[in-house]
Chain A
Amino acid sequence: MTQPSLRHAGINLGGTQEDPNADAESGIFGFWMFLMSDAVIFALLFAIYGTAVAATAGGPTPRSEFKLDSALIETLLLLTSSLTVGMGVLAMKYDATRRPVFAWMGVTLALGIAFLFMEWHDFSTMFSHGAYPTRSAFLSSFFALVPLHGLHVLAGCIWMLVMGAQVLAYGFDTRVKINILRLSLFWHFLDVIWIAILTVVYLQGHVS
């Protein structure tokens, strides 16, 4: 492999930055590109939601279904988890012992799971009102957009467990570090998407 001469500004591979940066540079860069194409998917689902939000076909409407209080709690859970995942990465950079990394990542995982439970609760409340995705185009587009974000969070939680197992197996070798960095990027990305969901779906639904 050629050794790229630049160091990636965002890579906290080690306190002194003397670890092999070559793999990290392309590895992280490639992950950014993946996030970009994932962002396109979400952007399109937002667009579809925008065209379908009025197509309630006489069924449940945004105003009747969306609860701002649970959306607020979910937002706080996710934003806090973004802070803790960031702290976990900093702990990996400056400490590189297992305990603080596990502690921060454990908190992140717990917040992620709590978010998923809250979201599931929201969905089952909607189902109990007869707000199924099969009811109207509005609900179809809602249930394509928001649960897809939820599935991403679930994938992030599974990924976190896998990374925990890898830390136990290999310690903090370069691949583990790169993958934890990617995981944290992924997690922040989900935060960004959630902010858009909060704005476009929940807040807009409430004021409309």
Chain B
Amino acid sequence: MQTAHSPIWPGVLGRFTWHDLPFVRAWENPTASEMIGAAAASLVIIGFVVTVTLLTRHRAWGRLLEWVTSLDHKKIGIMYVVIALVMLSRALVEAVLMRMQQAAAVGDPGFLSSDHFSQLFSTHGSIMIFFMAMPFLTGVINYVMPLQIGARDMAFPWANSVALSLTGGGAILMMVSLVIGKFSTGGWSGYPPYTGLAFSPDVGPDYWIWAVTLGSIGSTLSGINIACTIFKFRAPGMTYMRMPLFCWTSLCTSILMIFAMPPLTVATALLALDRYLGFHFFTNDLGGNMMNYANLFWLFGHPEVYILILPAFGIYSEVVSTFSSKELYGYVSLVLATMAIAVLSFTVWLHHFFTMGQSANINAVFGIATMTIGVPTGVKIYDWIWTMFRGEVRFTVPMLYSLAFMITFVIGGFTGIILAIPPLDYVFHNTLFLVAHFHNMLIPGLLYGLLAGYTYWFPKAFGFRLNERWGRIAFGCWVAGFYLAFMPLYVLGASGMARRTHEIFQPDFRPWLYVAGFGALVLLAALAALIVQLVVSIRERDANRVFAGDPWDGRGLEWSTSAPPPEYNFAVIPHVDGRDPFYDGKRKDGYYQRHVAYGAIEMPRNSISGVVIGLGATAASFGLVWHMWWLAGLSMQLVLSALIARSFVRGSHRTISAAEVTATEHRWHAALDADRPTPRACELSQRNTGLAEIPA
């Protein structure tokens, strides 16, 4: 007999049943939990329909295609950041739901089923790491780094497009899991044997496996691309020790990506072999050993922490130096500290499972290694403080984020030292103390940094400044919200409340959970303020244009172009003779030198094949999740064909004619000549048109 639980058409639709639709589940069992699931699915569908309608009404499909097929590092960077912000919105809403559930669930089942709650903490973590943080930092590096080293594009523009579409495909898969089927309940780290076939036979872990795999392959490609660009495409005179610090942190991050993403790929691939072909890597029987998974996952997972944090350190270095109008203090020590952190990050992975049965001596070694990382990090904090010392500090939004970071991150670092001591970890592990700790590292150490970078470089990318007032409101909410939401979790964790708890039986926890819940709402308000800021800024864009390109009296080469920069970045590749080439250069006469005529420039043409590969891989993953073998097979063939077809393409570059380059450059120089230089005191007013006044 057909029921909602039996496969509809197994040959074509695999294991899909009507029961996999959240609407059907909500119809059959109209609890609050199922209704929320159905509402979330509706939001995805409505969002999709609205996007399609708007694109059609504004006849914008052509422009969308122009963007997604672009190989321009700047457009790719912006698209990464768009993915990150969309995914941030979803994962933040999920966080609020979890906080509300826990606040409501003291001695009460609350409004979410335990299964739904588990899906929420799994998607929240997976999205925040793989589809918010990773695309955000990859996007900012993509946009800024080539401009900073004086290059016209990345080393492999086409691979860049493939990496973007793979990451985007993973994000699509995450969104699809809201509408069809359900997500893993195994957390963002997906530990087997729980996520193995024996305990989780449903589609959830498969969604997790393939979404994460797409993301990790994309990140490996990005890492190779970023590292190769920095090694091989620096402008003449840009020696390693003259690179802006953001380039150094990008380089270290990309090296970490090259070495640390493969362990994740291996972990998910072996878990997939267990689940699909009945292998015995991590099963309980026939010799399987889940410790191998824990080691593989954290061999990725710990360097990943520094993949996330190092770019933010680079952004803070740029921001603090620019807004203090001072050379970065201790440049060499910052470079060495960055490299030291990158190397040490591979020596501490075991502290993620102190309690899983190693000898005390092994725990001691890894505990000491963990604490050692605090040393180079401390060096960095002092360097930033000394950079501000006796500088003319301007408290702009990026600078505010940097200051909030320095204080908050140090608190997080202290709690990290506590957790790095194995005997204490035995007490605190698996409690909310840990949850509070890593949010205390990642929110200031990643989110504040990327938001600072977003605010700082936004005028460069779009040609107008973001609204300062809404930026400050968003900043205030992000900081207040963080403290309200996570400081109570330290208390709760130290009192013994386990993480990922669906229902709480200790009435003493209630006030702390209320405070944390309120903090989550403040964080949601911060996101809303960020959206309002964007809308307001776009409306007022004409009053805040900075076409001349240097709104903050910047230091690196990225500020020496118009805003937004021309497609080719630099009409003439600059020669670099110092650490702050643009800051020092514009203080000499005739830096903005106008040439009579410029040469023609070759840039890569758009290519559809990257998108085809990304969407093909996504469709193949979807087919694998649902056991639609025909779809998986056909899509993989499509990916392979697109790869081979691309290798046959010749003439993949187009030439921007000398006349066009000359016209573009002359238009910019005309604006420079017409602009009134802005003194720093007026940089937040509409007088700032992007030409910095040089104080005598």
Whole-angstrom distance between the alpha carbons of A165 and B647 in the complex? 11
Give a binary string over A40-62; 1 marks a CB under 8 Å from any B CB, 0 the rest. Answer: 11001100100110011101000
Name the A residues within 8 Å of B227 (CB-CB).
33
- B236 near A144 (CB under 8 angstroms)? no
Flag B586-614 by CB within 8 Å of A: 1 or 0 each. Answer: 00000000000000001000000000000
What chain A residues lie within 8 Å of B292 (beta carbons)? 48, 51-52
Q: Which residue of A lies closest to B283 (CB)?
A: A137
Among candidates A29, A55, A169, residue contacting B232 with C-beta atoms closer than 8 Å: A29
Give the complex CA separation of A162 and B640 in angstroms.
12
Stretch at the interface among A71-79, A128-136, A186-194: A128-136
Are B286 and A57 in touch, CB under 8 angstroms? Answer: yes
B155 touches A30 (CB 8 A): yes
Q: Mark A128-163, 1 if CB is under 8 A from B, else 0.
A: 000001111110110110000000000000000010
Give the Cβ gap from A185 to chain B, nearest Cβ, in Å.
14
Q: For the complex, would chain A's binding face be called helix, strand, loop or mixed by DSSP majority? A: helix
Q: Is the interface of B mostly helix, strand, loop or mixed?
A: helix
Report chain B residues within 8 Å CB of A57: 280, 285-287
Partner of A144, one of B273, B299, B648: B273
Asked, given contacts A2-B151, A136-B280, whether A169 binds B648 with beta carbons under 8 Å apart, the answer is yes
User: Which of B233, B273, B602 is in CB contact (< 8 Å) with A26?
Assistant: B233
Please give, as numbers and ranges, the residues of chain B lying within 8 Å of A138 by CB-CB distance.
Answer: 287
**Hey, which chain A residues are within 8 Å of B223, CB to CB?**
37
A41 and B265: CB pair below 8 A? yes
Residues facing B in A64-98 (CB within 8 A) are none
Interface size class of A (residues with CB under 8 A): 35 or more
In the complex formed, the residue of B with least CB distance to A48 is B292
User: Which residues from chain B contact A165 at a C-beta distance below 8 Å?
Assistant: 648
CB distance from A196 to the nearest CB of B (A): 16
Given the interface pairs A2-B235, A137-B289, the reply to whether A33 lies near B258 with Cβ below 8 Å is yes
A36 located at the interface, meaning its Cβ lies under 8 Å from any Cβ of chain B in the complex: yes
Chain B residues within an 8 Å CB radius of A140:
273-274, 279-281, 287-288
Contact with B along A5-35 (1 / 0, CB 8 A): 1000000000000000000011001100110
Q: How far is the CA of A51 from the CA of B155 in the complex (A)?
A: 39
Which one of B261, B265, B285, B292 has the highest number of Cβ atoms from chain A below 10 Å of its Cβ? B292
User: Which chain A residue shows the least CB distance to B151?
Assistant: A2
Q: Are A26 and B281 in contact (CB under 8 A)?
A: no
Is B152's beta carbon under 8 Å from chain A? yes
Q: Are B152 and A55 in contact (CB under 8 A)?
A: no
Report the bound CA distance from A170 to B263 in whole Å: 39
Partner of B224, one of A30, A41, A169, A170: A30
Which A positions have Cβ atoms within 8 angstroms of B?
1-2, 4-5, 25-26, 29-30, 33-34, 36-38, 40-41, 44-45, 48, 51-52, 55-57, 59, 133-138, 140-141, 143-144, 162, 165-166, 169-170, 173, 175, 179
Q: List 20 A-B contacts (CB under 8 A).
A: A2-B234, A4-B233, A26-B156, A29-B228, A30-B224, A37-B223, A40-B259, A44-B262, A45-B266, A52-B292, A57-B287, A59-B286, A133-B277, A134-B278, A136-B287, A140-B287, A144-B281, A162-B647, A170-B650, A179-B647
New A-B pairs, 8, CB < 8 Å, besides A2-B234, A136-B286: A1-B151, A26-B233, A29-B232, A30-B156, A33-B224, A44-B266, A56-B287, A133-B278
